[in-house]
Copies of this chain bind each other. A is one copy, B any other.
Amino acid sequence: MNNDPITQLVVDIAQRARRASLELATLQSETKNQFLHDLADLLIAETDSILKANALDLEAAGLNNLSAPMIERLTFTPERIIAMSEGVRQVAELPDPVGNEIERMSPPKDFDLRKIRVPIGVIGIIYESRPNVTIDCAILCLKSGNASILRGGKEAFNSNMRLAEIIQDTLRANGIHEDAVQFIPTTDRQALNVLLKQDDTIHCIIPRGGESLIRFTVENSRIPVIKHYTGVCSVFVDSSADKKIAESIVINSKCQRPSVCNAAENLIIHEDASDQLPTLAKALHEQGVELRVDANSKAILASHELPLVDATDEDFATEYNDLVISIAIVPDLNCAIDLININSSGHTDCIVTEDKSAAQKFLAGVDSASVFHNASTRFSDGFEFGLGAEIGISTDRLHARGPMGLNELCTYKYIIHGSGEIR
């Protein structure tokens, strides 16, 4: 037995979460929703104390010379607290996923067998500098009947601790097990290592953050991890693509919000549609997009006075998160599918075509979580899919793939109502 204090602390948190999870699994929807509304109220009422805790984090961030985008992510304002509170109320309004009948089975013997949606149990969330993730994840886990253990980044430690106190006050006030949401009250790295070994009590780990955080988690976890890797998304303009649709989808997929995972990084064009490339390239350039071109697209664009960069093979597997796009010409649909399956991160890919059989082939052949025909990659999103909320977009294949809402925070059980049946 390891008796050091950090190990004891984390093991104890995990065991308490497991006990709380058994209570949470059968909690009434009304109780959960009342908790959420009360939490929304308390976040507003506690604006000053949240900003005060946040000021401590911002002061430390200044002393540690954190980058401007990092400080931006870390900062609370009264407006952001109002938005966070409204987000909590929206989750209260969503239907409760727990107890839903997923399927009525047809067993050979005629007993009543059903597959019912139930919570996963205990979910560990590991995240970085945004303190609002504390609230987002806690409420989605609670609404779906899961206990959560939150491990935030050290930059937001004071903000997170204050938010965790507010959550626990609201849990107690609503008579819900206070271990239903726990925040790990130390920034010690060892706590994370211990957390990832508690596979007897924690059922799922969701890392929310950059690639190095996710890789560290996968390397060190004995608990199943649902990964949200990067989005290397492609738009393929097929030979029969409608020119207007192609232009609006390419521009929207790349430019509407280039910093997010469902923005397009690659433009792939069928050689029979290569006459569309100059128009598309100009439109992208006008939006400030840097064009990284393969040899064929470079040749086509040579006479168009656009600034071009030679694309490397690696570029086609790169998430730029910025106004940059890689462009390739391919001889046919199969080559486009292969290029995507080799380079894509399995997130979201799109074909623009008027040819239904080409669309069908692309939709079946591209091995990604979301595959679209004539629609912007930017639709790959929990809210746009109608899930009402989103804890992330999984690039994993098991359990949850693509946008994860409340249903994806659940598992299922089989239930028989029998009348004495035996084998």
Contacts and interface: CB of A to CB of B under 8 A. Distances in A.
B224 A373 contact: no
Number of copies: 2
Given A25-B364, A359-B417, A384-B108, A412 B423 contact: no
A421 interface: yes
A111 interface: yes
Interface in A357-390: 359, 363-365, 367-376, 378-380, 383-386
Contact of A385 (B113, B121, B256, B396): B113
A369 B414 CA distance: 6
Interface string A215-250: 000110010111000000000000000101100110
A45 interface: no
A378 B416 CA distance: 12
B222 A252 contact: no
A224 B224 contact: yes
A51 to B, nearest CB: 32
Contacts of A248: 420, 422
Interface residues of A, number: 72
Contact of A204 (B22, B226, B397, B412): B397
B420 A365 contact: no
B420 A374 contact: yes
A375 B249 contact: no
Nearest to A356: B417
Interface string A382-408: 011110000000001111011100000
Contacts of A105: 385-386
Contacts of A403: 414
Interface of A: 22, 25-26, 99, 105-109, 111, 113, 118, 120-121, 199, 203-204, 218-219, 222, 224-226, 242, 244-245, 248-249, 252, 256, 341, 359, 363-365, 367-376, 378-380, 383-386, 396-399, 401-403, 411-423
